[in-house]
Chains A and B, each alone.
Chain A
Amino acid sequence: MELLDKLTILADAAKYDVACTSCGVNRQAVKGQLGSATSAGICHTFSADGRCVTLLKVLLSNVCSYDCAYCVNRRSNDIPRATFSARELAELTIGFYRRNYIEGLFLSSGILKNPDYTTERMCEAIHILREDYGFRGYIHAKAIPGTSEELLVRLGVLVDRMSLNIEFPSEKSLKLLAPEKAGESALRPMAFVRDGIKANYQDKRLSTVRRTRFVPAGQSTQMIVGASPESDYHILKLSASLYQRLELQRVFFSAYIPINSNPLLPATSEVSLLREHRLYQADWLMRFYEFDVDEIIDEEHPFLDPLIDPKCNWALNHIDQFPVEVNRVPYEMLLRIPGIGVRGAKRVVCARRERSLRFEDLKRLNITLKRAKYFITCNGKFADGVLFDPLSIYRELTRQAKGRRFKGVLDGQLSLFDEKSEPAPTSAFSLPASVLSSPTSVLPAALASASAKPAAQPATLPPAQTPILARRAS
């Protein structure tokens, strides 16, 4: 078979793996050897689906002895099969790398015979690339569940990042849909890799260069969203514990795309990209915004609101902590304002040392006020036209939920979100039902009890304990 056709088959078979990152490791170039790695990673192109391409993502072989229901490469699928030889793969990687097409290699594989045999073949291919070709670029390898620990060590010292897919958020689903991959067997090797990374860092006999050699860029995992009945709550709880207990670098979510028809799988034609997007937003809040998973989602509202992002949702549920005065609040609170990111918060902290910031200044700091304006004051003043009232903010924010992405949700077609009871899109944003039904007399109970003014102007009332702030113009 021609190399071009092999590449087509093996890239096609690998494309459902989400991870495509080349970050987490800084490796200086060495004279006489090809390649280096920068810790931020570099995306070299973006495919038609908008995903970044940074690594040559291929399978070593798409021959597989497993028969997982969701997978394109399952044994029982009648598709063309191919296998790279170690030399072919190395030549291809080096050729692409020299032309600045890629940052390195992402190698996964179907299960040839058994996990150990497969991992050995992968080690062999990567070894040739590292030793014979002196390649110092990035390598991400997929570890196969069920591989022996000796082989994981062998693989771990060759690669930068290792990942083990847990595939499904619960063991029950995994057993049902991927019977050959038992749930336990993904978590145990992950713990083993974690311990290896730790031991490596702590081993004082190794020089600093060698100390970071075992999986220096850490490990990641991936789970499929929408093929099994688990809720967002379940998924986020699981990923939080993966970050905390197994010290993963990344947890990827992959919206289920129906490839195989199987009575065990949902027969939807809809790809739940919006749900995947919301999960990633929640994931970012946990990793970069110092949010705890229980602040983002709770058991009573097990699905994230499709219409607004989780941060807005949190802010609306904790409206008593707002509005905040950008010139005074600490950095941690700035991070919690919807629409202000890590970069924006740092810029605010930096800029407000010189002068007290006005809304024009915030614009100059490249802070988008689209969402932030509802939750902040500058020198005690709201932005023009802002009505500080949770329900009207919710309405304003969801008004922006237009376009292709929201199609299914707005029509009420997407059954995933409104399975519970209400016909309207349900949300984790928990205003009392009475408030939702009578929008004219809007006033959450907490605000109402603290108010001394007549209910005719409910929106102007600040929460208890907060000093009365200057109202919006008009």
Chain B
Amino acid sequence: MSLAVKQEGRGGWDRGMDDVQPVYLYDGTLEGMLTAVFEAFRRKEEPLNIVEERCLQQSLLCSYIPILTDVAKAERVRNGVTTTLGERVYENLKQVFLSDDERKGGVIVRYLLYTMRKGKRACSHLANPAVDSFEDVLGQVAKEAHYMLQFVRFAQLQNGVYFSRIEPRASVVPLIMGHFATRFNIQPFMIYDARHGLSGVFDTERWWLVDARDIQEPSQTLAEDGFQALWQTFYDTIAIEERRNPTCQRNFMPKRFWGNLCEQVPPQLRNIRPKTTTPTVAARLGAPSNAAPTETTNLLPAP
């Protein structure tokens, strides 16, 4: 996710121009991030960024300070944020932490340095660079989470579990599990985030997160082919050829999601196709509308 961090000066902190702005290193956990924020306040300095140790790309212009995660310090930051700025801001902070943006550490610390000093009302100072970049990242994560509510596609496996593979640009699985767990509370399911190696699992009672870096992805069942064919057919049919507008389509549904959407499998690669075709389907197939009848099977499982 690209984010133009709009920086303006260095805030009101009393530092000389020749000082090298330090970069804090943390262990990649939320507690680690909060500890680093604590250290920034304790040292009265504004770190350029807070980066995960294993993602570090050294630069000569920065000094690097490793921060040792301390749960007690993290807890103090959490308390401070919730009492001064409210629970909501702490929730937002956790959401920003889920972002893939490598500048998120700096964004969080600048936001807290500003708002903790100015008080709760500062959270609505949208024209302030510190608040603005925080809101930007927050918005991007929320958008990504909403994309997932839209574009998660479940496929039923042989054992009855519904499985979905996603590749979001922020680690949003914890944000979307609640929605799916209530809506689909009668079916066990699993959402596998292949990019972050994280899975959300629901067993019809409760949901939890599983570290899933190298899982072998399951193959799908025959009945599933049937439902996907029905969906693909519906999807192709519903488009009106005279109104074709691929730009509009991509604006709403960026191509990066298409790999995990079964309706975007090109018609040539599909196993089951309808006998009846419409002009829209025919245009997609690149053939006249009465062509290519293939065998269809009874698709619904017997009740």
Task: Given A31-B185, A88-B300, verify A9-B276 contact (CB < 8 Å).
Answer: yes
Let me know if A7 and B230 touch, CB within 8 A: yes
Let me know if A5 and B296 touch, CB within 8 A: yes
Kindly supply a per-residue 1/0 record for chain B positions 287-301, scoring 1 wherever the CB is within 8 Å of any chain A CB and 0 otherwise.
000000000101110
| Residue among A57, A100, A257 with the highest chain B CB neighbour number at 10 A | A100
A364 touches which of B127, B162, B261 (Cβ 8 Å): B127
Kindly supply a per-residue 1/0 record for chain A positions 41-73, scoring 1 wherever the CB is within 8 Å of any chain B CB and 0 otherwise.
011111111111100111000000000000000
Q: Does A8 make an interface contact (CB < 8 A)?
A: yes
B187 touches which of A5, A8, A48, A98 (Cβ 8 Å): A98
Per the bound structure, the CA–CA distance linking A355 and B303 in Å amounts to 65
Q: Does B239 make an interface contact (CB < 8 A)?
A: yes
Q: Which residues of A contact B261 (CB under 8 A)?
A: 45
Stretch touching chain B among A89-97, A191-199, A412-420: A89-97
Q: Does B231 make an interface contact (CB < 8 A)?
A: yes
Per the bound structure, the CA–CA distance linking A306 and B122 in Å amounts to 43
Per the bound structure, the CA–CA distance linking A45 and B231 in Å amounts to 11
Let me know if A100 and B153 touch, CB within 8 A: yes
Q: Which residues of B contact A44 (CB under 8 A)?
A: 150-151
Within 8 A of B (CB), among A7-48: 7-9, 11-12, 14-16, 28-29, 31-36, 42-48
| Residue among A29, A80, A271 with the highest chain B CB neighbour number at 10 A | A29
Query: CB-nearest residue of chain A relative to B231?
Result: A101
Let me know if A98 and B162 touch, CB within 8 A: yes
B244 touches which of A5, A49, A80, A353 (Cβ 8 Å): A49
Let me know if B237 and A11 touch, CB within 8 A: yes
Let me know if A46 and B249 touch, CB within 8 A: yes
Within 8 A of A (CB), among B237-255: 237-249, 251-253
Per the bound structure, the CA–CA distance linking A58 and B234 in Å amounts to 9
Per the bound structure, the CA–CA distance linking A86 and B43 in Å amounts to 70
Q: Which residues of A contact B248 (CB under 8 A)?
A: 46, 49-50
Let me know if A8 and B233 touch, CB within 8 A: yes
Q: Does B263 make an interface contact (CB < 8 A)?
A: yes
Task: Given A2-B296, A48-B284, verify A350-B247 contact (CB < 8 Å).
Answer: no
Within 8 A of B (CB), among A111-166: none
Per the bound structure, the CA–CA distance linking A45 and B242 in Å amounts to 19
Smallest CB separation, A77 vs chain B (Å):
14
Q: Which residues of B contact A42 (CB under 8 A)?
A: 146, 149-150
Query: CB-nearest residue of chain B relative to A48?
Result: B239
| Residue among A12, A32, A33 with the highest chain B CB neighbour number at 10 A | A12
A-B contact count (CB 8 A): 189
Q: Which residues of B contact A5 (CB under 8 A)?
A: 274-276, 296
Let me know if A3 and B300 touch, CB within 8 A: yes
Q: Does A210 make an interface contact (CB < 8 A)?
A: no
Chain B residues within 8 Å of chain A by Cβ, number: 67
B186 touches which of A34, A50, A56 (Cβ 8 Å): A34
| Residue among B244, B253, B303 with the highest chain A CB neighbour number at 10 A | B253
Let me know if B299 and A4 touch, CB within 8 A: yes
Per the bound structure, the CA–CA distance linking A46 and B250 in Å amounts to 8
Q: Does A365 make an interface contact (CB < 8 A)?
A: yes
Q: Does A351 make an interface contact (CB < 8 A)?
A: yes
Let me know if B126 and A365 touch, CB within 8 A: yes
Task: Given A7-B230, A351-B127, verify A100-B238 contact (CB < 8 Å).
Answer: no
Query: CB-nearest residue of chain A relative to B252?
Result: A46
Task: Given A350-B124, A364-B129, verify A29-B185 contact (CB < 8 Å).
Answer: yes
Smallest CB separation, B139 vs chain A (Å):
9
Let me know if A8 and B277 touch, CB within 8 A: yes
Q: Does B77 make an interface contact (CB < 8 A)?
A: no
Q: Which residues of B contact A36 (CB under 8 A)?
A: 182-183
Q: Which residues of A contact B281 (CB under 8 A)?
A: 8
Let me know if B278 and A8 touch, CB within 8 A: yes
Let me know if A46 and B253 touch, CB within 8 A: yes
Q: Which residues of A contact B124 (CB under 8 A)?
A: 350-351, 353-354
B240 touches which of A16, A29, A91, A355 (Cβ 8 Å): A16
Q: Does B74 make an interface contact (CB < 8 A)?
A: no
| Residue among A4, A28, A34, A352 with the highest chain B CB neighbour number at 10 A | A4
Per the bound structure, the CA–CA distance linking A33 and B187 in Å amounts to 10
Smallest CB separation, B152 vs chain A (Å):
5
A98 touches which of B154, B242, B263 (Cβ 8 Å): B154
Q: Does B6 make an interface contact (CB < 8 A)?
A: yes
Q: Does B208 make an interface contact (CB < 8 A)?
A: no
The 5 tightest CB contacts between A and B, nearest first, are A50-B248, A29-B182, A47-B239, A49-B243, A50-B245
**Other contacts beyond A43-B150, A47-B238: 12, CB < 8 A:** A3-B300, A12-B278, A33-B186, A34-B184, A48-B236, A48-B246, A49-B248, A53-B238, A96-B230, A98-B184, A99-B227, A364-B132
Could you name 11 residue pairs across A and B whose Cβ atoms are closer than 8 Å?
Answer: A2-B275, A4-B274, A4-B275, A8-B274, A15-B239, A34-B187, A46-B253, A48-B236, A80-B276, A101-B231, A365-B126
Chain A residues near B (Cβ < 8 Å)? 2-5, 7-9, 11-12, 14-16, 28-29, 31-36, 42-53, 56-58, 80, 87-88, 91-92, 95-96, 98-101, 255, 257, 271, 273, 347, 350-355, 357, 361, 364-365
